[in-house]
Amino acid sequence: MRSDPIFTSWPQKASALWENQPLRLEHRLHQLPLFSMDGLADLISRYPRANYSLVHMGAKGESKRFWREGEIGSLGGRQVIDAIANGRMWLNLRDITSADRAYKDMLDEVFAELSERVPGFSAPTRTAGILISSPSAQVYYHTDLPGQCLWQIAGRKRVHVYPAAAPFVTPRHLEDIAVNDIEVSMPYADWYEEHAVPYDLEPGQMLAWPLNAPHRVENLDTLNVSMTVSYVTEEIRRLQTINLANGLLRHRFGMDGLGRQTGGASFWAKAVFQKVMRQTSWAKKKRTEGRTVDFRLDDQHLGGIVDLKAAA
Ligand SMILES: [Fe+2]
């Protein structure tokens, strides 16, 4: 094991639990300059427009599905952080590993360490985002198609993890997400909470959970900075192929009850089919429906927003 590991403690059982059960572990990423407030402010200031999402949750008490997407406008990185601290929104710096080499090196180190600690674990495709969110922000019940883990850098949050099984998540849900690319449209009922396990995260803790386990996240009244990590193993890659192919076959051609084998002739036929289909304008349109940028951050009142139509 390396001399200065990123996981600052790794109980032996963690190797057996990884990807099979929710798992909370300790790390030291929050102590790196890359994740200091100065480091993050600098990253925000130079972040490519195409690679971030800024989402406003609407006024307190509004419909929980009321989301708007916007842009940073003329604010510098530090002001953006202050605006988020005072507002009701979150900023997702997607794909930090392509935006900056230092973050890629950090993530490579994380996965090298995981491969050493978890026998047989290998995730050749991985990416990370930095999520900066307001004290009152929450992420609604959803699931993700890739493997996921969440690393807490600043502030405190609570992650509720649900079983990765029906009725909480079904193949049909996964296929719909693969086609529409919108994760939060899954059905949810209050009684799901009886089956959820809550995990509180503080700076220096991370949480991993089984593939496709639904989850929702609430901030505990503090500005939050977290790193979200997505990874794809060979098995996950094949499942993603199945999800997209089955989803397209159902949405486009009305075919239902399709198999989910990740090998054999039907798998490879689906692999070719989804590759062709995802290039079509129909599939591309499906994936971008419902996403319009309509506000920017207010540079006069940090935490406020300006309607882009009103500003034009
Ligand atoms: Fe998620």
* Domains of the chain, residue spans: 7-232+293-311, 234-278
pLDDT in tens, 152-162: 999 999 999 99
Q: What is the pLDDT of residue 74?
A: 92
For the chain, the three-class secondary structure string (H helix, E strand, C coil) is CCCCCCEEECCHHHHHHCCCCCEEEEECHHHCHHHCHHHHHHHHHCCCHHHEEEEECCCCCCCCCCCEEEECCCCCHHHHHHHHHHCCEEEEECCHHHHCHHHHHHHHHHHHHHHHHCCCCCCCEEEEEEEEECCCCEEEEECCCCEEEEEEEECCEEEEECCCCCCCCCHHHHHHHHHHCCHHHCCCCHHHHHHCEEEEECCCEEEECCCCCCEEEEECCCCEEEEEEEEECHHHHHHHHHHHHHHHHHHHHCCCCCCCCCCHHHHHHHHHHHHHHCCCHHHHHHHHCCCCEEEEECCCCECEEEEHHHHC
Which residues lie near ion ligand 1 (Cβ < 5 Å)? Answer: 144
Residue 252 has pLDDT above 90, yes or no: no
Note the pLDDT tens digit of each residue in 264-287.
766 766 666 667 666 666 666 655
User: Ligand 1: distance of its center to the CA of 128 in Å?
Assistant: 12
Mean pLDDT estimate for the chain: 88
| Mean pLDDT in residue range 219-241 | 92
- Residues 221-237, mean pLDDT to the nearest whole number: 94
The CATH number assigned to the domain with range 7-232+293-311 reads 2.60.120.650
Q: Which pLDDT score is estimated for 312?
A: 47
CA of 142 to the centre of ligand 1 (A): 6
Is residue 254 predicted with pLDDT exceeding 90?
Answer: no
CA of 301 to the centre of ligand 1 (A): 31
Distance of CA 234 from the midpoint of ligand 1 (Å): 20
Tens digits of residue pLDDT in 171-214: 888 988 888 766 557 889 999 999 999 999 999 999 999 999 99
